[in-house]
Amino acid sequence: MALSGLDIYKLLPKTNCRECGFVTCLAFAMQLAKRQVMAEKCPYLSEEAKRALEAASRPPIKLVTIGEGENKLEIGNETVMFRHEEKFHHPCGLGFIIEDNLKEEEILEIVKQINALSFERVGCMLCPNLIAIRQNKDAAKFAQTVRLVKDNTSLGLVLMSKDAQAQKQALQIISAQKPLIYCLNKDNYQEFSKIAAEFRVPVAVYAQELSELSGITQKLINQQIEDLILDTGKKSIAEKIWDLTQIRRASLYRSDRTLGFPSLVIVQDRSRPFEEALEASTYIAKYAGIVLIKGTQPWEVLALLTLRQNIYTDPQKPLQVESKIYPVGSVDDKSPVLITTNFSLTYYTVLGEVEASKVPSYIITVDTEGMSVLTAWAAEKFTAEVIAATMDKLAIKEKVSHSRLIIPGYVAVMSGDLEEKTNWRVTVGPKEASGIPSFLKNLHG
Ligand code: SF4
């Protein structure tokens, strides 16, 4: 947790020697609290003070990366308990467990299904993140399955085996991809900590009780093994939520470094997929860093990814699309030009209606910082000047041979001003998007 200026002052020598460039230690402390100056500017800091300042500037929940390249998963680095206080930063990773005792063709089929799980929603691509391979047979079969999955997916991998030899064999194949190894516990601590250090991979730490978990992570931190994920094992949903919440509270409010890591939850033994989806959604909503499930059905995954997207968007920033010219259908230089705002919901509603009209058209979205038409107009983000500037910038004149612009019915009041600013003839469209199909068909006719 960040220290106040007075907290920092208590750690300083209080000699007012001025060597840091400030007249007093208190002035230096105040600037340090605002991160306007580096602690190293004071040459007289005690070791204790350096440690305290270093700990205070560290994120309360460690950022942990699994995988490499564009599909790598970053989790942690969260700073608030509640989304409305700021925002949640790193979306929970969603992954699927594959058993290594399945036949090769069955494994390949599941991997193929997982790779195909990709959905577009409000201009964003929603995809799962991880495949976890669980050992049921010997180390050789586990390593063989890990190789098979690695060769057929670009998603991050989780190696689920309590057998140190099996982990080593698998890591010799894929350590460069930085998989998560699952899991280290009090019984295999010696072997697994060595593996995590040797292969430099993140490791999941397991203990049923938070106090025990904390004891294990403290030992790992002492060994500089800090890419950790926490798991408190199989419990009731209420108990899991309790654990996830206490872990988050301990790291944010009590600066407990031993619990300052993302958490992992495995949803298991749910015979019905809707139960699995409901349980997984509970953990996505409340603090899980990773949720592993078995079900790979698109309807289940879409629901979870949609929930995740909503929770991890910035509540102070509406979803927006890029400000540009969107051609809809087989447009040509005679196609109508409609203008609207870049609020995702507005754009996709207009897009759907234009598509339904079957009249090829251009839609121009104006950057209104994600505000809808009337709000943007009231906030002076959707004015004749702004629209004219956007049309110039996007060079709509180069796309069409006419000069006719359709504006939303709610901003009919600006039509005269807009004609003056653009030299285009402005037509007032319908107030509601649902009126667009008949409007465009009549316009076309
Ligand atoms: S150098 Fe350190 S001891 Fe000297 S005034 Fe600055 S903060 Fe105080």
pLDDT tens across 163-209, in order?
Answer: 999 999 999 999 999 999 999 999 999 999 999 999 999 999 999 99
pLDDT of res. 1: 57
Distance (angstroms) between ligand 1 centre and the Cα of 428 equals 67
Name the nearest CA neighbour of 56 among 29, 89, 74.
29
Taking CA atoms only, the protein residue closest to ligand 1 atom 8 is 25
Index of the ligand 1 atom closest to the CA of residue 19? 1
Taking CA atoms only, the protein residue closest to ligand 1 atom 7 is 25
Which segments of 124-236 does DSSP mark as H helices, in order?
139-150, 164-174, 189-199, 210-222
pLDDT of res. 2: 67
Best mutation site among 17, 23, 24, 30 for ligand 1 pocket (most ligand atoms within 8 Å of CB): 17
pLDDT of res. 444: 58
Taking CA atoms only, the protein residue closest to ligand 1 atom 4 is 17
Q: Are residues 228 and 203 in contact, defined by beta-carbon separation less than 8 angstroms?
A: yes
Q: Are residues 371 and 378 in contact, defined by beta-carbon separation less than 8 angstroms?
A: no
Question: CA angle 286-289-292, nearest 5°?
Answer: 95
Rounded Cα–Cα distance for residues 98 and 160 (Å):
10
Q: Is 347 in the pocket of ligand 1 (CB under 6 A)?
A: no
Best mutation site among 6, 9, 14, 18 for ligand 1 pocket (most ligand atoms within 8 Å of CB): 18
Q: Are residues 73 and 129 in contact, defined by beta-carbon separation less than 8 angstroms?
A: yes
Distance (angstroms) between ligand 1 centre and the Cα of 42 equals 5
Profile the chain (445 residues) by mean pLDDT over runs of 10 residues.
83 94 93 83 91 79 93 93 88 97 97 96 90 96 97 97 95 95 96 96 97 97 96 96 97 91 91 91 96 95 96 85 95 96 93 95 96 94 96 96 96 96 95 94 75
Q: Are residues 201 and 168 in contact, defined by beta-carbon separation less than 8 angstroms?
A: no
Q: Is 9 in the pocket of ligand 1 (CB under 6 A)?
A: no
Rounded Cα–Cα distance for residues 21 and 157 (Å):
50
Rounded Cα–Cα distance for residues 147 and 201 (Å):
17
| Sequence-ordered list of residues with C-beta below 8 angstroms from that of 144, at least 6 positions apart, any chain | 100
Q: Is 18 in the pocket of ligand 1 (CB under 6 A)?
A: yes
pTM over 0.85: no
